[in-house]
Amino acid sequence: MGKLYIVPTPVGNLEDMTFRAVNVLKSVDLILAEDTRTTSVLLKHYDIRGRLESHHKFNEHRTVSVIKERILAGMDVALVSDAGTPGISDPGFLLVRTCVEEGIEVETLPGATAFVPALVSSGYPCDRFCFEGFLPVKKGRMTRLSELASERRTMIFYESPYRLAKTLQQFAECFGEDRGCCVAREISKKFEEHRRGTLKDVAQWYSVHEPKGEIVIIVEGAPEKEKVSEKNRWKKERENPETEEGD
């Protein structure tokens, strides 16, 4: 029986590839790629000449049983996505679950994942966090945001640059305009950017500055109710100061 390797690939900078990942890709019988054109650039860079086939969200339900049989017959297979760790908002879960159910060994290598550097660089607590990935584009989107409004942990989202400004506006409406956030863009690439501020301010920025590249949004968790009450009391007193005695 062969083995399935889950191999993370760089999210931007090709130098983020690990020695172990390169060695695994050179040793396996088959490499499954989300986009063979993208992966071919990586393989060429590291002089990896293994057999390459497509495995993406449009064909994985059709091909997973064939891949399973190949591994059971003794073939070692590596799965990669276009960038980052397969299975994290990328194809991979179905194949891994199938192999686990069949008793096939699955070995996942540590490596690049976009949300980790975005979270750590945000300045928000990262001891406990909530990874949401891509939200539903239409059905169920606002319901999910309403559910997350009281989430105390730091929240992590992936988003398309074409929807970023609108998404930040929706966050401001659901979580409050003063909630803090950090938008990480083009992680590990030449034009990497981390824009921090309130949801209102960052939404306004991206409404007039069109973003490009891969986007990770980090949103501050909901504050404790006691702190919210104290903040509201202070704000009310500041806006309506009481008349001092004797005036």
My answer on whether 50 and 70 are in the same domain is yes
Q: Is the pLDDT of residue 228 over 70?
A: no
Which pLDDT value is given to residue 234? Answer: 57
**What is the structure's pLDDT at 5?**
98
The dihedral sign for the CA sequence 57, 58, 63, 67: negative
Which residue from 172, 179, 118 is spatially nearest to 145, judged by alpha carbons?
172
**97 alpha-carbon distance from chain centroid:** 20
Look at residue 51 and tell me if it is in a domain.
Answer: yes
Q: Are residues 128 and 195 in the same domain?
A: yes
* 243 occurs within a structural domain: no
- Count structural domains, the chain: 2
- Return the CATH number at 55: 3.40.1010.10
Q: Say what the pTM is.
A: 0.85
Please enumerate in sequence order all residues whose Cβ is within 8 A of that of 81, keeping only pairs 6 or more positions apart, or say none: 9, 33, 34, 90, 91, 92
The first and second tokens of residue 241, run together, are 């100061």
Asked whether the CA dihedral 11, 13, 16, 21 is positive or negative, the reply is positive
Any domain includes 245: no
Q: By percentage, how much of the chain surpasses pLDDT 90?
A: 82
For residues 54 and 135, membership in a common domain is answered with: no
Residue at token pair 């550097």: 117
Task: Confirm whether 10 is domain-assigned.
Answer: yes
Looking at the fold, whether 177 and 214 belong to one and the same domain comes out as yes
Give the type of residue at 96. V
Tokens 């928000």 sit at which residue?
Answer: 124
* Statement: residue 204 has pLDDT above 70: yes
Residue 217 sits in the same domain as residue 126: yes
Last residue of a domain, one of 62, 90, 108: 108
Asked if residue 100 and residue 120 are part of one domain, the reply reads: no
Q: Is residue 93 part of a domain?
A: yes
Please say which residue of 54, 73, 108 terminates a domain.
Answer: 108
Summary mean pLDDT of the chain: 91
* Co-location of 12 and 79 in the same domain: yes
**Does residue 70 surpass a pLDDT of 70?**
yes
User: CA–CA distance from 168 to each of 123, 141, 220 (Å)?
Assistant: 18, 13, 13
Which amino acid, one-letter code, is at 233?
R
Number of neighbouring beta carbons within 10 Å of residue 229: 11
Domain that holds residue 124: 115-224
Q: In what order do the strands lie in the sheet with 129-134?
A: 129-134, 154-159, 215-219, 180-185, 193-198
Same domain, 180 and 156: yes
142 and 220 inside one domain: yes
The pLDDT value given to residue 225: 73
Residues 79 and 92 sit within 8 Å (Cβ to Cβ): yes
pLDDT at 246 over 50: no
On whether both 54 and 150 belong to a single domain, the answer is no
Percentage with pLDDT > 70 across the chain: 91
The answer to whether residue 241 is domain-embedded is: no
| Residue 133 falls inside a structural domain | yes
Instruction: Answer yes or no: do 198 and 124 share one domain.
Output: yes
CATH of the domain at 213: 3.30.950.10
Over residues 65-83, the mean pLDDT reads 96
Long-range CB pairs of 131-138, under 8 A, 24+ apart, other chains included: 131/156, 132/156, 132/157, 133/88, 133/89, 133/157, 133/158, 134/89, 134/158, 134/159, 135/159, 135/167, 137/163
59 shares a domain with 8: yes
With respect to residue 104, please indicate whether it lies within any of the assigned structural domains.
Answer: yes
Rg for the chain (alpha carbons), in Å?
Answer: 23
Per mean pLDDT, which range of 22-26, 42-46, 139-143, 165-169 is the poorest? 139-143
Domain end call among 76, 93, 108:
108
Residue 226 has pLDDT above 70, yes or no: no
